[in-house]
């Protein structure tokens, strides 16, 4: 298994940069940034995949296998949108990488809607293209949600 903390360190740095003082800057891992009862949602996850995680422990367990799935090469913060609700931030970012087992490219774009309170993320809604993920990990892209074939 890959070292998850180092594998996701660029993601943690990207979030700290995007969220600034809205999130605890001493966090070393993504779960450290989450509130104990924080929630992650994946509205476009492929059929049969996790679409909702509740609690820091569930989030930590879920991302523990990230390095076995994908190898990130770069993350780029494209835009940060501050909403009228001071605790909600929308970020656009892109990632490049490869499937850990396939070596296939992973050129993904994300939009994340992040709610914070008292320095922690309470809700993280992660929008991304499931077809890109499925292709990178070597699964049939026709299993993605919304596919008519």
pLDDT digits (tens, 9 = 90+) for 22-70: 999 999 999 999 999 999 999 999 888 899 999 999 999 999 988 889 9
61-102: per-residue pLDDT in tens?
999 988 889 999 999 999 999 999 999 999 999 999 999 999
How much is the pLDDT for 5?
61
- Model pTM? 0.88
Is the domain defined by 4-137 classed in CATH 3.30.2040.10?
no
Beta-strand (E) ranges in 1-149?
A: 34-41, 52-54, 70-82, 88-99, 105-117, 120-128
Q: Where exactly are the structural domains of the chain?
A: 4-137
Edge-to-edge order in the sheet of strand 52-54: 52-54, 34-41, 120-128, 105-117, 88-99, 70-82
How much is the pLDDT for 148?
38
């Amino acid at each position: 298994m890959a070292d998850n903390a180092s594998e996701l360190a660029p993601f943690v740095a990207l979030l700290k940069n995007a969220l600034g003082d809205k999130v605890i800057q001493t966090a070393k891992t993504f779960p450290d940034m989450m509130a104990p009862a924080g929630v992650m949602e994946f509205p476009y996850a492929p059929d049969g995949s996790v679409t909702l995680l509740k609690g820091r422990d569930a989030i930590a367990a879920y991302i523990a296998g990230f390095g076995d799935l994908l190898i990130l090469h770069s993350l780029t913060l494209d835009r940060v949108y501050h909403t009228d609700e001071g605790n909600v931030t929308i970020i656009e970012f892109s990632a490049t990488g490869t499937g850990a087992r396939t070596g296939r490219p992973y050129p993904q774009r994300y939009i994340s809607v992040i709610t914070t309170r008292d320095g922690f993320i309470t809700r993280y809604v992660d929008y991304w293209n499931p077809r890109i993920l499925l292709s990178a990990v070597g699964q049939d892209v026709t299993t993605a949600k919304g596919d008519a074939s």
